[in-house]
Amino acid sequence: MKTKDKIKEIRKEIDKIDLKILELLNLRAKKVKSIFEEKDKNKIPFFDPSREKKIVDKLQKFNKGPLTRKDIEIIMDGIFKVYRSINKPLTIAYFGPSGTFTHQAALKRFGEKSVYVPCRTIENVFKEVEKERVDYGVVPIENSSEGVVTHTLDMFLESDVEITSEILLKIHHYLLSKEKSIQKIKKIYSHSQAFAQCQKWIEEHLKNAILIETESTSTAAERVKKERNSASIGSEIGAKIYNLNILAEKIEDFKENITRFLVIGRSSPEESGNDKTSILFSIKDRVGALHDMLVPFKEYNINLTRIESRPSKKKAWEYVFFVDFIGHKNNEKVKKALAKLKKNCIFLKILGSYPQAE
């Protein structure tokens, strides 16, 4: 058989398989619609990251190839994004405007079918979720090179939202301008964190440029769109949204530049088998107090992944501590550790348990 004829025959088989896949996808869609109708009646959140993780884990376990584990994850992620909005689109607030890295993170988690609401401040994202004007919110929490986003931590002190999910996004910075040559740039606009993450590159390539801070990378792009001899540091998607030229790409100083974002909602999911929990607590001011707070985690072999302190804003030199650890709040060991911790706290607040991002 000639090569062309062989390919033709194989393609006929693929066409039959595709029709079967379509039939199964529609059957799955009907089942998902039925579940969402039941959830809607009982006010149960549509987004269930722990269930999604269990599905992916199970399929990866039974997968015999040639698809890889990552292939399975990518395929199912696309399916989840479509099916989540099968009855009605999810509404997602994010720290905006459009084109920011938080916007990218929201798109990565929820896909194109959701409705997105940009917010000028992190506080506004929390308020939109609290007042039930949106289903979920997306906010930045920490960057691998620049550390924690303190304003997000502070909002958890004041708000009763819960962490539903986390998103890890690899951050690449681009120099954007209406100009076509880097030699014409005299001013650079961007967010303070973007400047910090590109400090060495700026010093090497545009050390005489005036640096002007803006509230977001997208605000910077908007300014540059109207000005000559100026550039902004932002995302690749920002270049498309604001119709700007990319004069230099991936200008971040550290190539492993990752930002972690949190999805906030009004409830946290059930156990997925690979979870993280976030808490905050305040302690009495005495010698060894913080050490005593950490002992229960060691006693029950619970791995702490992050600890941060912030002023309580209620009393001078009084601090609250934010802790992330591996495990779910419904796990027996975690329950026992938190019960011991609570005895020595002024207050303890569980911010949520959610599947750990890989």
User: Of 102, 217, 259, 277, which is the active-site residue?
Assistant: 259
* CATH code assigned to 174-249: 3.40.190.10
Contact 185, 210 (CB under 8 A): no
Using alpha carbons, list the distances in angstroms from residue 203 to 190, 192, 340.
15, 15, 51
Catalytic residue check, 347: no
Q: Chunked in runs of 10, what are the mean pLDDT values of the chain (358 residues)?
A: 86 96 97 92 90 96 95 96 91 89 93 93 96 96 84 90 95 94 95 92 95 91 93 92 94 89 94 94 74 89 91 68 95 95 88 93
Question: From CA 85, how far away is CA 333, in angstroms rounded?
Answer: 36
What is the pLDDT at residue 286? Answer: 67
Catalytic residue among 101, 261, 297, 322: 261
174-249 matches 91-170 in CATH topology: yes
Report the pLDDT value the prediction gives residue 288, as an integer from 0 to 100.
67
Give pTM, 2 decimals.
0.86
Write down the domain spans for the chain: 3-84, 91-170, 174-249, 268-355
Residue 261 annotated as catalytic: yes
Domain 268-355 CATH assignment equals 3.40.1350.10: no
As its CATH architecture, domain 91-170 has 3-Layer(aba) Sandwich (3.40)
pLDDT tens digits for 13-54?
Answer: 999 999 999 999 999 999 999 999 999 888 888 899 999 999
At 311 the pLDDT is: 76
**Predicted local distance difference test score (pLDDT) of residue 255:** 82
pLDDT score of 88: 87
- At residue 69, the pLDDT reads 95
Pick the CATH number of 3-84 from 1.10.1740.10, 1.20.59.10, 3.40.50.300, 2.30.110.20: 1.20.59.10
- At 314 the pLDDT is 66
DSSP character string of 60-113: HHH--SSS-HHHHHHHHHHHHHHHHTSSS--EEEEESSTTSHHHHHHHHHH-TT
pLDDT at 45: 87
